[in-house]
Each structure stands twice: as structure tokens, then as C-alpha cells.
Structure 1
């Protein structure tokens, strides 16, 4: 009876699960099974999705060429008049449009007039009129366009805006050294936070959790006091809303801390192990730099191509004597397909980062002698490029499809409440798929199996360790998010203390420093988060494969103590 109860309360799958997994992988029982699998025994996974991705790129290329032929970036920069003539240029005649092909070299500004069919006087819909030498009175110049002014003060307001932007630019230029110093300080704070996690992880975790709970309770009390003072005032509804919101948040966080108290111990131990890996393989922290560069290139390509494609079209009469470059079906398809491919590539780059980091971390975890490891990051990167690109493409395609479906449904729904419902439902599904995909990448990096098999294996491991999984993905993510916020806030506070009072727009330099610090902290903690998730699944696999006696654990003494404590607690219950 006791054995039966013990079996039902185990937190890890039975060893037969791994044996079945090995059998499906084509590995005989007597073979030595290494984790992570060595490159020599790996096979190319999900290659058909690599082919699908290549075919999509091949399909996109001719449509891109056609769209670029039909586009002209000067239409976006300088604008064109009601006959399709680009302002500031000598134009060629287009088809049978008799008024096209005029020389507008000395008329660089496009004058816009209010749409006669506008619904109201405040409606900001304009139609193209003609190219002019200068805007003149009654118009305001902005981006080579002449907009009709609402009052005589508009030109002065426009000049004031230009002067303000120029002053901000000069102040940013003066603060260049200050911005660099603040960014370096943000880097120091980020590394310092990692050192705090290394030496005082338990203290840091509990300080963040309890401090956040006390802060939320304090905010709830403040808003309840404000609500009682302004029971009938204009801000009563807002005060009551925030008071209820922070009260509910405080109750939820309290319940989570009480229910997950024992699991937080495992989170602390996993944090310690992740920090050991980061300091044991320090080159791993530079991997997000490659991700950042690749993501930046994709973003630049996406924005540039989208701007160029927005100018593409065939010159057609829209109403009366006004001609516009209207995109046809081929151009619209190109724009949509371009967005899909870029979103797919974005998710693919993120998936590659998860795969490389998890492969290196699992190598570190399952190494008896940590000092004998040779280039685990390079080996993991080689495995990705040589064997598992198809699996990452498959996983990123799933996330891309659900994101596109969510955007399309949201665009087709006009009701605001229905849009919120779509965002909540499909957003939750998208986040869940990202979570499963990340864990599937980790299992693929470990065992070298295809995406679907690894995902199924990951689901079984996570389900068997459901409470620990929930704790890790709620409390753990909350601690890491608060750590990044503290780094940014600390940088802003120090930046305010060190700001030069003679510079009027010093806030612009502080804002730039805060944004760069947030990006740096996110890059470092992305490695930390992936390392924690990988070590957790390695811990589950280790507990499944080995028993600590005949088959020794790979886990450290730190995690082994947690396993022994869990076993004692289970035996006491039985």
C-alpha cells in the first residue's frame, strides 16, 4: 500500500518513459545513451520545413522584384501631385495620363487641401493638390508637404516645434559622454545583479518577493484612502479601480507565496545552478549579441521594404481628376507575405538562441568533470546549423501562424469588447505555444530528436512536475522581471543625480540610457532565463534516468539535497 502511494506521488516520470523514448529514437537497450547526444549520432530533424521555408523565400523573390519595379521611394519622401508627378523631380509620362510627365524640379513642396467629403471640420483627411515652390501663407510646411493651417498661430507653433527638436538634438549631442557613462553604469548594475544572484540568491529572491508584496499592499492602502477621501469626487472611480486592482494583486501574490513556499526553495537552487553555468561558460553571455544583431538586421529589412512597398502601385484615377498610385493584388500579396516571412524569421532567430544556449547548458549539466568541457557553445551552435534548423523553423512557424491569425481576427472585429476577448484568448494560446516551443527546443538540443517528439517529451516532463513548473514560470519569471526593473530604475536614479543642471533637456539623455540599459539587462537575463529552464528539464531527465545509487545522479549536491528532502517529505506523508 505504501509503495503504491509513493508511486502515485512521484514528481518525475517513471524510467520506462525514457526507455520508450530511446526505443523510438532507434537506440538499443545496451547502448550508452549520452545527454546531450553527441553530433556523430544526431540526424537532421524536420528537414521538410527547411525546404518549405526555402520555397517560401523563392516565391517571395519575384513578387518583391515586381513590387520594387512598381515603387519609387521619392513618392514617399517628396510626395506627388494629383497627376502622379513627383515634386522636385523631372517626371516621365505614365501610360495615357495626359497630365503626368511634368517637370517639377523647381516645385519641391506638395500642397495638400482639405477633403471636400470630410465628415467634419476636424477630420484630418487631405487630398493631393499640386507641387509648389513654397507653401505660402495659410499653410504649414512639414516633411515637404504643405498642410492648411487652422489659425494664424500655426506657423509659429510649427517653428517652435522645430526649435524644440533642434534643442533636444543639441542637448543629446552635448550629453554623449554622459549617455555612454550611464550605459556602462547600467551594464555594471546588470553584472552586479548577477553577482548578487551568485552569492546571495536566497536573500535576493526573498527580498524581491516580500518587497514587491509590501509595495503592492502599500499602493492598495493608499488608493483606498484616496477613494474614501474622494467618495464623490471626479477621481473617485479611478481611485476605486486602482484600489481594487492592487488589492486583488496583493491577495494573488500572497496566495502564490503561501502555496509555493516549498517550491521557491527549488527555484533558488535552480537560480544557483544557472549562475554557475553562466560563470562556468562565460562566453555564453555573448550569444544574445548575435541575436540582437540578427534581429536588428531583420527589423531594418522589414521597415525598409515595407516603406518601399507602400509607395508601389499603378497610377489610376480615384475620383474626379485625381490620380493615385494604387496597389494591385500582386503588391498587396507581396506586402502581406513580406510581413509573414519577417515575423517568421524573427521567431526563428529567437528559437536559435534558445537552442544554442540550452545545448551548451545541458552539456555543462551532464558533464561529470566540468573542467573537461571543450567549446560547448560552439558544439551547440554546430548541432543547430548542421542538424536542427528544420526544428527551429517548424517551431517558429507555429508561433507565426497563431500570431497572424490573431492579427487578422482582431482586424476583422469592430467591437472593442470582442477585440479584447480575441487578444486574451489567442494571446494566451500564443504565449502557451511559445512556452512549449522553447521547451521543445531544449529537448531537441539534449536528445537530437525532431520538434514534435521533443515537444511531446517536454509536455510529459512538465506535467509530471506540474507544481514545480508553475512555481518556476510564475514566481521565477516574476523575480527576474523585477530584477530587470530594479536595474533600470537604479540607472535612472543615478542618472538624475549625475545630470548636468545646465542642460535643459537632460531627460532625453536619461531616457536613451534607460532604454539601452533595459536592452542590455534583457540580453543578459535572456541567457539566465533559458539556462534556468534548461537546468530544470535536465533535472527532470536526471531524476528519471537515475536513482542515485546504482545509477548516480549528474545533478550537483545542491539539487541532490532538494531531491533527498522531497523524498523524506513523501515518505513522511506515506
Structure 2
């Protein structure tokens, strides 16, 4: 309850943070360019309302990654038609690259003007010119300009490709949706078929692996026998030493003997595991079939991932908007820009209103007070970083809560199926809706607590990644080693917590206890059935991975033949594309994600049924007073006799 209250307070605080960011922030600072005086270009109620394109006075100073990051170049920047502020010779220099209608010598990117390079007769030109004069009247080569703006033109070329990709999406989106719909139907079909083919698929795979390893053993023996009598084949690895050409080792009988021994050991281990774990494998397959049967009774659970997706999408959108508003909540900061490298006032902050009254222009002729970036010295701006950190932390907390809510809701629905003695007669009318209501009404605090623990670990991982990025250029080997160890440890910790949380949410859905109690009971229950857990986990992972590959691969092959016009029936319907691989990759990746969404529900179903099965074995003994709730197939595997409903009721 305490964590529930804290969670609600944090959400209210998060909303307040968004409001504060919205009041102080201005996304136009990111979207629209500003001139050297901090004025927006092409915005209403500004001095540059009719001046939409930003020009850089000396683009040679823009040969820096800063241009690609925030497009704030350390040179005079003016809006179109703003020539009254500068000398005619300066403006004419600038306009030679950006004047409209002059052989189209410019490219506009993000409302900023850059030279458009072209090659004629093997010579690099801009507006049919190979040389130009810079702002100081010095003759410069176009190649110098090309080197300065090379990164920008790469971005412009990428924009051209991006526009073509956008066009492909615009004319093929409905075919992409059709492909995803086919993937959805195939996913549903695979889940239905698992009820009848789970055991067949698994044993086909197992015997296939045994057969492949058996062939490998035979091949190693054949190579070993074939090399008999060949000079040099009886040498050992110690005799020839280390060789960069690994083909040399394949000419030795000892190599193939080692391979044969290793494969024989693997083959024996697999066969022994099948012999001693056959009963647990049968239980795993029976639980897979039972999961398919449960989903058949509660089909609405297959579409619950849409709810989780929408909740996460809302969290991501709110986080992104808040982050942008926080990042743009600063006031304009002006700095001295001087042509002289020895000017001691260069890069110092200044006030454009009083700059001309200072002696800076006397000591540094030509110096200007120009806009640099957005920031500030107020208390609010000093804590922007803390606000951004809080924004990221609450975002992680909310995302993990949305996932936890989905897992607890699904677990409650499937648990209601398992604990219904007469299936489907005793299953509640609206199991998914009822489970969602219980999770929100009774378990919000428990889910928030589990999400909080996971969010803390994830935030630490983000900080470690940030530190690793900052220290990547250092030569301190011990620091890099320590960071690597910490990243590895927290990665393992996050995986472990996800496993614990998932099973804790299942126990919460079954018993309604708090998070810590549920996590402890789930952990010890799993440890008492650790072999069954391992077998079920691997069998489930294999079958679901096989299903994802089959769905994505099948739809991908169909989409390839369609978009390459290799299906005569639909040849006339195929849209004309710039890149056929754009919708093809979208369909393949989308089909895999669709299958993953459906199969994640199935995996949650199997995990829930497994914990219920283990609880059923420990709580009940099959007597009249304590009858088993497991299915008939599980009873047969365990060799236990299920009591009739009348006897159980008596």
C-alpha cells in the first residue's frame, strides 16, 4: 500500500514536471533555425517572419560535428533577405551559393542553406564555378568548401534516400498491413496446432539432432581412417606447434580423433538426458498442449499485448516530449565571436544589448556578440540535468509497470483456467477483464514495487553506459575493466530480476499476496522443481523460436515473390517501388514482432500453468478432500488417478 501511494505521488509529480517543462520549454529551438542574434527564421511575430532559410556566412568554419548535432556553426548566420545587417561584399559572397534561381546552386536541409556540389567534365563545381572569394576577399577552391561541408552533404544525400523510402511506404502500406494480417493468422494457426503437434515437433528435432551428431561421428571416423598411412598424418599438435592456417590441423589423424571423441560424448549425454528426463519432457509437452487449450478457451488474451503496446507508446511519447521541452527550456546565451585567434575575450559570454558599449570591439576588431546556445544561470536551469534524470527514471518505472500489469493480468486469467475443476464450465465469464480489474484494484502497489526494483537497476545500467562512452578515449585500463565488470554484473542482475518478477507476478495473481512474499514463494517453488523448470524452459523456447522463424520466414518468402512480381496472378497489383526491400524488410520484421506478441502470451500461459501445476502437486494429493486440478493428460503422465467431480464434491 505504501508503494502504491508513492507510485501515485510520483505519477502526479511526473505530470507536474511535464507541465513545468511545457511552460519553460520551446521546441521551436530544436525545429527552427536561429540567426546570430537568436531570432527564429520564418516564425510569426518575429523580425525574421518572412525569412525562412538560414545562411551561414563562412561555411568553412562548419567543418565540425557540432553542425550535424545542433546545426549551430561558429560563424555569422543570417536569415534570407537580411542583407541590410552586413556589408554588400559579405552578402554577395554569401548569396553566390544560396541565391534562388542561379543554376540551383543550393540545397536546403532543415531550413538551412548549404552548397549543392556537382561534377562537370571531371571538375567539382558549385553553380558552374570552381573558385570563389570568402568573406575576407581571399580566393578559395571549391574543394575546400567540399571538405568543409562534406558531412552536411552526406546528410542531404541520406535525406534523398529517406524521401524515396517514405514514398515506398506511402504506396505500399496497405500491402504491408495485409502481410502483417497473414502473419497474425499464421501465428494463431501455429498456436492451435501446438495442441496436436507439440510432441511431434519436439521429438523430430531431438532425433534430428541425434542423427546429425551420429553422421558427424561417422564422418570423423572416415577421415581418421582415410588419413591412415599418409605421411605426416600421425604427427601430433604438439609436434607442429601453432599454425595460422587451420587447414593444417585437418591433415592430422589426431584432430579427427578428438572431434570424434567430443561428438561421441555429446551424443551419449543427449541420449542419457532423454532416458532420465523422459518423464519431465513429457510433462513439458503436456503443459504446452494445455497452454494451447487454455488460449483456445480465453482467446481474448491473445490481443492483450495491444494494451501493453499502447501503454508503453504513451510512456515513450510523454518521456520524449518532456525531454525535448526540458532540453529547450533555457534562455539564449551569447558569446564573443572573434576573427583573431589571440583575442582573450573569444568564447566568453556577452550581452548583445550592451556589447557595442564595451571595449571588446576595440581590443578585438571585428568581434561580434552572437548567439551560441540555450542555457542559463537560474536555479531552474542548473537542475535541468537532474530533471532529465528524473524523467528517464520515471519513464523506466512506468514502462516496467505496464509490462508487469500485463503479466499479472494474463497470469490471473490463465490461473482461473487451471483452478477451474470442470473446464470450461467453472471458468469465469470474463476471465481477462476480471483479472485486469483485480490487478488494478488490489495489486498496483506490488506491481509498482517490482517495477521500481527493475527500474533502479536499468537506470544504473544507463549511467554505466554513459560513463563508458565518456571514458572510451582514456588509457586507464583498470577503469575500463571495472566498468566492463559492472556492466556485466548489472546485466545479469537485470535478467535475474526479470525472471523473479515474472514468477512473482504469477503468484500474486494466484494468491493475492504482496510482492516480497510472492517472490520468495515463487523462487523456492521453482528451486524445488528446478529440473522441470529447465526442461520446460528449453522445450518452450525451442518450439516458440521455431514458430517465430516459420511465421516470419513464410510471410517473408511470400512478400519477396509478391514485391518482385514473381506471382503472375498479382503482377499487375504490385506497386512501382524505388526499393522493393523497404516493404519486404518491414513485413519480415513486423511479422516476427507480431508472432513474438502472440507467442509471449503463450509463454506466459505455459509459465502460469507450470507454477499452478507445481502448486497443485504440493497442495493436493488426489484424495476426496484434496483432488487434483490438473488435466487428464498430466494425470496419466504422473500415473495418478483423477477423482470424479461427484467424489471431489463429496
Q: Tell me which interval the TM-score lies in, with the shorter structure as reference length.
A: 0.7 to 0.9
Q: Does 1:530 align with 2:497?
A: no
Please, which of 582, 594, 610 is the counterpart of residue 508 of structure 1? 582
Q: Which residue of the partner structure matches residue 407 of structure 1?
A: 462
How many residue pairs end up in the alignment? 490
**Distance in 2, Cα, partners of 1:475 & 1:253:** 18
**Distance in 2, Cα, partners of 1:509 & 1:249:** 43
Q: Report the CA distance shift for 1:561/1:250 in structure 2 as closer, same or farther (over 3 A).
A: same
Q: Which residue of the partner structure matches residue 563 of structure 1?
A: 638
Q: Which residue of the partner structure matches residue 238 of structure 2?
A: none
**Distance in 2, Cα, partners of 1:110 & 1:367:** 72
Is 1:208–1:479's contact at 8 Å kept on the other side of the alignment? Answer: no
Describe the superposition over 1:537-563 as per-residue Cα deviations: whole angstroms up to 9, x where unpaired. Answer: 000100001112342211011112232
Is 1:79–1:110's contact at 8 Å kept on the other side of the alignment? Answer: no
Q: Does 1:175 align with 2:172?
A: yes
Q: Report the CA distance shift for 1:215/1:335 in structure 2 as closer, same or farther (over 3 A).
A: farther
Is 1:309–1:331's contact at 8 Å kept on the other side of the alignment? Answer: yes
Q: Report the CA distance shift for 1:485/1:208 in structure 2 as closer, same or farther (over 3 A).
A: farther
Structure 2 counterparts to residues 397-436 of structure 1, below 5 A: 397-413=452-468, 414=471, 418-436=482-500
Please, which of 528, 534, 549 is the counterpart of residue 470 of structure 1? 534
Is 1:358–1:442's contact at 8 Å kept on the other side of the alignment? Answer: yes
Deviates more, 1:171-180 or 1:455-464: 171-180
Give 1:199 deviation, angstroms: 1.3
Q: Which runs of 5+ in 1 are unaligned?
A: 1-46, 93-101, 222-230, 237-247, 566-574
Q: Report the CA distance shift for 1:445/1:69 in structure 2 as closer, same or farther (over 3 A).
A: same
Structure 2 counterparts to residues 23-422 of structure 1, below 5 A: 47-89=1-43, 102-103=47-48, 105-109=50-54, 111=56, 113=59, 127=73, 129=75, 130-133=77-80, 136=98, 140-146=107-113, 150=146, 161-208=158-205, 259=273, 261-262=277-278, 263-317=280-334, 319-320=347-348, 321=369, 322-326=371-375, 328-370=381-423, 371-373=425-427, 374-413=429-468, 414=471, 418-422=482-486
Partner SS state of residue 610, structure 2: helix
Q: Report the CA distance shift for 1:326/1:562 in structure 2 as closer, same or farther (over 3 A).
A: farther
TM-score by length of 2: 0.67
Is 2:35–2:54's contact at 8 Å kept on the other side of the alignment? Answer: no
Give 1:183 deviation, angstroms: 1.4
Give 1:87 deviation, angstroms: 2.0
Give 1:213 deviation, angstroms: 8.8
**Distance in 2, Cα, partners of 1:158 & 1:65:** 34
**Distance in 2, Cα, partners of 1:500 & 1:527:** 34
Q: Which residue of the partner structure matches residue 553 of structure 1?
A: 628
Q: Report the CA distance shift for 1:442/1:108 in structure 2 as closer, same or farther (over 3 A).
A: same
Is 1:78–1:110's contact at 8 Å kept on the other side of the alignment? Answer: no
**Distance in 2, Cα, partners of 1:64 & 1:250:** 63
Partner SS state of residue 278, structure 1: helix
Describe the superposition over 1:309-343 as per-residue Cα deviations: whole angstroms up to 9, x where unpaired. Answer: 22221322452434310262332222211111111
Give 1:118 deviation, angstroms: 6.2
Give 1:518 deviation, angstroms: 2.1
Q: Which residue of the partner structure matches residue 479 of structure 1?
A: 543
TM-score by length of 1: 0.75
Give 1:419 deviation, angstroms: 4.5
Deviates more, 1:299-308 or 1:202-211: 202-211
Is 2:202–2:539's contact at 8 Å kept on the other side of the alignment? Answer: no
**Distance in 1, Cα, partners of 2:266 & 2:35:** 59
Q: Report the CA distance shift for 1:63/1:103 in structure 2 as closer, same or farther (over 3 A).
A: same
Question: Higher relative contact order at CA 8 Å, sep ≥6: structure 1 or structure 2?
Answer: 1
**Distance in 1, Cα, partners of 2:374 & 2:265:** 57
Q: Report the CA distance shift for 1:166/1:404 in structure 2 as closer, same or farther (over 3 A).
A: closer
Q: Report the CA distance shift for 1:552/1:296 in structure 2 as closer, same or farther (over 3 A).
A: same
Q: Report the CA distance shift for 1:250/1:412 in structure 2 as closer, same or farther (over 3 A).
A: farther
**Distance in 2, Cα, partners of 1:441 & 1:145:** 52
Give 1:304 deviation, angstroms: 2.5
**Distance in 2, Cα, partners of 1:488 & 1:344:** 32
What root-mean-square deviation, in Å, do the aligned CA atoms of Structure 1 and Structure 2 show?
3.9
**Distance in 1, Cα, partners of 2:200 & 2:213:** 20
